[in-house]
Amino acid sequence: MIHVLHVVGARPNFIKAAPVLRALASRKGVRQTLVHTGQHYDVNMSDVFFRQLGMPAPDVSLGVGSGSHAAQTAAVLLGLEPVLLARRPDVVVVYGDVNSTMAAALAASKLRIPVAHVEAGLRSGDRAMPEELNRIITDAISDILFTPSPDGDANLLREGVSKNKIRFVGNVMIDTLIRLLPSARRPAEPKLDGRYVLVTLHRPANTDEPAALKTLMRALAAIAKLAPVVFPIHPRTRARLNKAGFKAPADGRLKLIEPLGYLEFLALQKDAALVVTDSGGIQEETTYLGVPCLTVRTTTERPVTITAGTNKLVRDYASLPREAAAALRRAKKIRRTPKRWDGKAGTRVASALLAWLGQRRAA
Ligand code: UD1
Ligand code: UDP
């Protein structure tokens, strides 16, 4: 029996882990344990994904909650170590680039438990982003690295990672999208007829400086004059807007709503005339869906969304309304679906992981 322990903690982790859990569940001789660190804990940031994605309930919940980077990372280390010591899995699988990912990889590798990283090799080159540090550290201490696109392989090789640790499996987030697209359904509110713009923003660089956040919200209000804007607000951003006393313009065209479930968000994303975001995963989902996307950041760790897809970086807030107007005028861009973004990445992870563990046992 091979024992695989998965660690998830934040919204994007659930969407990435679901296809790997499903693929491994269909393999003989595999036992799985799911650990939820509790980095995200609101019903609409966590439970709703377990339900809509058909994921098993976590076997262990660490309940780490919110805190500074140090506090959150330390809480995952302290919470996970006894779980790993008691359960002794053959491998720990971590996903993406959040604090829970990096902390879980560190806890396992210090105990000499092999670590598999799903969504390895992505680099923005910007170490001011906490995620970039999490990516670099996680990849450096992982034993097997599953990349979503060839630039991931190239980045890892450039950093001196041995080629035989790297497996180009494709994009697990797109597996979930392909599986659930037929079930996507619009939320009852807001009512929308005709074209609209969908917005998500939660990067500290955009939210944590009150003056910058206000300028950004003014840019969104300007875009709302072109087409209604729907903005499901991440709790980090909600907290910052509340603190700044921000009120949406009275014309009701900038619609600030709570974070949506996966199926509701997917339905809005699929039909949007334009998406404005700073999310990692949404750059990829819009590329797959062929929906124009403006990413409010100076860099991206997902360059294929620009070269093959529909994504464009917008570096300054002042040019956002102009860029949005241009994107709304343009005909939909023909995009190429990046290689291995085909709904089978989770199956490739399962096969490669089990083959690798089998070889280790035999050695
Ligand atoms: C985290 C990840 C980020 C990822 C994002 C996905 C890190 C460093 N950041 O950012 O890479 O893109 O998740 O959404 O790991 N909060 C709630 N309820 C919740 C969760 C958070 O109210 O269920 C609030 C708290 O005020 C908290 C703040 O949001 O302090 C930030 O949460 P945190 O998990 O620290 O970072 P995110 O901004 O969510
Ligand atoms: N998402 C969602 N509801 C929302 C906003 C986003 O289901 O209200 C989904 C989105 O479709 C994608 C994932 O959450 O699958 C992206 O997560 P997020 O933007 O929080 O994190 P990032 O990808 O930036 O790390």
- Quick check: 177 and 285 in contact, CB under 8 A? yes
Domain identity same for 296 and 210: yes
Token pair of 23, please? 């693929």
Atom 1 of ligand 1: nearest residue by CA position: 98
Identify the pLDDT of residue 333. Answer: 66
Q: Can you give the CATH number for the domain in which 282 is found?
A: 3.40.50.2000
Structural domain includes residue 235: yes
Domain identity same for 25 and 103: yes
The catalytic residue positions are 202
Structural domain includes residue 164: yes
Instruction: Give 263 Cα–ligand 2 centroid separation in angstroms.
Output: 11
Identify the pLDDT of residue 253. Answer: 97
Instruction: Give 363 Cα–ligand 2 centroid separation in angstroms.
Output: 40
Domain identity same for 318 and 225: yes
Our answer on whether the CB atom of 346 is closer than 6 Å to any ligand 2 atom is no
Residue 12 CA, closest ligand 2 atom number: 17
Structural domain includes residue 179: no
From 42, 98, 132, 258, give the residue whose CB has the most ligand 1 atoms within 8 Å, as the site to mutate. Answer: 98
Domain identity same for 153 and 203: no
Domain identity same for 216 and 317: yes
Domain identity same for 208 and 304: yes
Ligand (nearest to CA of 282)? 2
Domain identity same for 318 and 350: no
Identify the pLDDT of residue 308. Answer: 86
Our answer on whether the CB atom of 45 is closer than 6 Å to any ligand 1 atom is yes
Structural domain includes residue 84: yes
Burial zone of 252 (CB within 10 Å; 0-12 exposed, 13-18 middle, 19+ buried): exposed
Ligand (nearest to CA of 100)? 1
Structural domain includes residue 184: no
> Which tens digits make up the pLDDT trace of 228-237?
999 999 999 9
Domain identity same for 325 and 353: no
Residue 100 CA, closest ligand 1 atom number: 15
Our answer on whether the CB atom of 11 is closer than 6 Å to any ligand 2 atom is yes
Domain identity same for 210 and 105: no
Our answer on whether the CB atom of 203 is closer than 6 Å to any ligand 2 atom is no
Our answer on whether the CB atom of 98 is closer than 6 Å to any ligand 1 atom is yes
Identify the pLDDT of residue 335. Answer: 75
Domain identity same for 49 and 194: no
Domain identity same for 161 and 207: no
Residues 6+ apart with CB under 8 A from 139: 117, 120, 121, 145, 156, 159, 161
Range of the domain at 94: 2-171+341-362
* H or E stretch at 277: strand 274-277
Instruction: Give 39 Cα–ligand 1 centroid separation in angstroms.
Output: 7
Quote the crossing angle between the two packed helices 130-141 and 99-110, to the nearest 10°. Answer: 30
Structural domain includes residue 182: no
Instruction: Give 159 Cα–ligand 1 centroid separation in angstroms.
Output: 29
Structural domain includes residue 307: yes
Number of domains in the chain: 2
Q: What is the mean pLDDT of each run of 10 residues along the chain (363 residues)?
A: 98 98 97 98 98 98 98 98 98 98 98 98 97 98 98 98 98 98 97 96 96 96 97 98 92 97 98 97 96 97 93 96 95 82 98 97 90
Domain identity same for 323 and 219: yes
Structural domain includes residue 335: no
pTM score, whole prediction: 0.98
Tell me the longest C-alpha to C-alpha distance in the chain: 68
